[in-house]
Amino acid sequence: MLDIKLIRQNLTECQTALQHRKENINLQDLIDLDDRRRATEQKRSSLEAEANDLQKQVGKLKQQDPDHPTIEQLRQKANEIKQQVADLSKQEEEIKQQLHQQLLTIPNLPHPSTPIGQSEADNQTVRTWGEEYKPTHPVMPHWEIGEKMGILDFERAVKIAQTRFVNLVGAAAQLERALINFMLDQHIKAGYGEVMPPFLVNSQSLQGTGQLPKFATDAFRCQEDDLWLIPTAEVPVTNLYRDEILDSEALPIKHCAYTPCFRREAGSYGRDTRGLIRLHQFNKVELVKFVLPGESEREHEDLVSDAENILQLLRLPYRVVALCTGDLGFSAMKCYDLEVWLPSAGQYREISSCSNFGDFQARRANLRYKTKGKKGTEFLHTLNGSALAVGRTMCAILENYQQPDGTVLVPQALQPYLGREYLV
RNA sequence: GGAGAAGUGGCAGAGUGGUUGAAUGCACCUGACUCGAAAUCAGGAAUGGGGGCAACCUCAUCGGGGGUUCAAAUCCCCCCUUCUCCGCCA
């Protein structure tokens, strides 16, 4: 959520920043609304001050003489004021609600270092890695080899659930587990504390990270219970400290978490219909950081490195892409995607997305910190990134490690987890 | 799911209708003492909104929401959470 004070002070900057993300929101309307809020609040609170004063007078008089004649007068006066206060409070509450609801639908401002652009096409490649590990022989798509080996079963998944689900069978199931453990072990080594959070969360949590109110149709919902299947571990983990005041000395806090992720993928009907790329349920290991505002940019770069480290250890070719303003997610001010090489398609595909949210999520989720000896509290900064999407990592392995004879070599880093050299 | 108890500041814990935003203790900050520290003494200090250059003023907040009253941490209703017992269960 943007700070209304910041909008008031930097109206034109905010307005152009939002235009860069193709958002045509009239911020002046918000300021007008905020003006009304302030005026109403001032009126109300001065009336309340008057009423409080009367109350104290009544209290004093009652102690002197319970039947003091002016008590009745003061009482009437207080009742009159109370009526006015009630009316004003109602107005004030409506204005506040309106303002709040509008603010919740406004995306974050892009960071100055985010390239300005319209779409995916304007994203900037920052670096590429592992060119030498790309296979040189023809490679079957992962779904083809997976079905041939009998380890990916899409057909029966449709029967027991729906399209866009999969059964991982035998070696694939083991590989999935191995990847999860491998990734978590690496991150723990890098200083991230593991969390296994709830896989269902309430609406408040989704609002905290930015999925609600605008993107309700993207998530699976258990309507009876105000619970939603998590679209990413970002939601429960970022909300861990919601409405808490952390000690500045405790920052940065770094967590890693494995969770399944559930997405309705509404509006992607024709896309990636085959294989593991786009499923309603997939596994992911996520990194989440809570940091001091001055440190978020550096922590962001480190977070990207931590995600890259997994790809490097697995020897999977990838590139790092800086998303442009037009392609940036709702809550992010800056974002790098990691894209892994998929030889069957001859293209790089997103396998991780590492974002710096600034204080945007912190405001929504009321994540604050306090510095000893300093008055007041401040919003911290949040960051997160996939490290990595496990299903897509499996795709990349099934393809990049595919041998000309149709077997798949197990990446060396994973061999201790699987206890073998080849998947057959 | 049924029965009971409880939810107060960073923590512990008083407070059952009126100058209580809230005693006391711990933790914290400032000053004094000290060569320095500890101990001791004196003082300060909650969070959020609004106004003011500022000193400061003002409103709200005792799990959440409603109600009674001139006045609610305190009384009434609903909800949430935690604990205990019973039931069910991986």
Say how far apart CA A30 and CA A24 lie, in whole Å: 13
Asked whether strand B has any atom less than 7 Å from the CB of A374, the reply is: no
CA A46 to C1' B63 (Å) is: 29
- The DSSP code sequence of A108-159 is PPPPTTSPP-SSGGG-EEEEEE-GGGS--S----HHHHHHHHT-EE-HHHHH
Asked whether strand B has any atom less than 7 Å from the CB of A134, the reply is: no
What letter does residue A421 receive in the DSSP assignment?
S
Q: What is the pLDDT of residue A251?
A: 87
Look up A263 and say whether it is catalytic: yes
Asked whether strand B has any atom less than 7 Å from the CB of A245, the reply is: yes
Give the sign of the dihedral formed by CA A192, CA A195, CA A201, CA A205: negative
Say how far apart CA A420 and CA A417 lie, in whole Å: 8
Cβ atoms of residues A364 and A382 within 8 Å = no
Q: What is the pLDDT of residue A110?
A: 96
Task: Kindly give, in sequence order, each residue whose CB lies less than 8 Å from that of residue A130, ignoring residues fewer than 6 positions away.
Answer: A311, A312, A315, A316, A317, A318, A341
- Cβ atoms within 10 Å of A40's Cβ, excluding its own: 19
Q: What is the pLDDT of residue A243?
A: 84
Strands A422-423 and A347-356: unpaired
User: Mean pLDDT of successive 10-residue segments in chain A (424 residues)?
Assistant: 91 93 90 92 90 86 78 86 88 89 93 94 96 96 95 94 94 96 98 93 91 90 86 94 85 94 86 90 97 94 98 98 96 97 96 96 89 80 95 97 95 96 89
Cβ atoms of residues A180 and A286 within 8 Å = no
Q: What is the pLDDT of residue A382?
A: 95
Residue A236 CA, chain-centre distance (Å), reads 9
Q: What is the pLDDT of residue A369?
A: 87
Asked whether strand B has any atom less than 7 Å from the CB of A101, the reply is: no
ipTM: 0.83
Whether A4-104 shares its CATH topology with A120-418 is answered no
Catalytic residue among A353, A363, A368, A386: A353
Asked whether strand B has any atom less than 7 Å from the CB of A370, the reply is: yes
Q: What is the pLDDT of residue A71?
A: 84
Which nucleotide is the nearest neighbour of A75, by CA and C1'? B70
Q: Does domain A120-418 have CATH number 3.30.930.10?
A: yes
DSSP, collapsed to helix, strand or coil, labels residue A368 as strand
Task: Kindly give, in sequence order, each residue whose CB lies less than 8 Å from that of residue A217, ignoring residues fewer than 6 positions away.
Answer: A264, A266
Catalytic residue among A21, A364, A368, A392: A392
Closest C-alpha among A215, A242, A243, A213 to residue A231: A215
Look up A392 and say whether it is catalytic: yes
Asked whether strand B has any atom less than 7 Å from the CB of A79, the reply is: yes
Question: What are the residue boundaries of the structural domains of chain A, listed by start?
Answer: 4-104, 120-418
Cβ atoms of residues A163 and A385 within 8 Å = no
Q: What is the pLDDT of residue A109?
A: 95
Say how far apart CA A415 and CA A423 lie, in whole Å: 11
Asked whether strand B has any atom less than 7 Å from the CB of A90, the reply is: no
CA A347 to C1' B61 (Å) is: 56
Q: Which residue's entry shows tokens 């997976």?
A: A146
Residue A260 CA, chain-centre distance (Å), reads 15
CA A11 to C1' B58 (Å) is: 29
Which nucleotide is the nearest neighbour of A45, by CA and C1'? B59
Q: What is the pLDDT of residue A169?
A: 96
In CATH terms, the fold of domain A4-104 is Helix Hairpins (1.10.287)
Which nucleotide is the nearest neighbour of A42, by CA and C1'? B50
- The type of residue at A199 is F
CA A11 to C1' B22 (Å) is: 42
Look up A278 and say whether it is catalytic: yes
- The type of residue at A171 is A
- The DSSP code sequence of A308-329 is HHHHHHTT--EEEEEPPTTT--
Residues 14-43 of A with CB under 7 A from strand B: 38, 41-42
Residue A23 CA, chain-centre distance (Å), reads 20
Asked whether strand B has any atom less than 7 Å from the CB of A271, the reply is: no
pTM to 2 decimals?
0.92
B chain positions with any atom within 7 Å of a protein CB: 10, 18-19, 28-30, 47-51, 58-60, 70-71
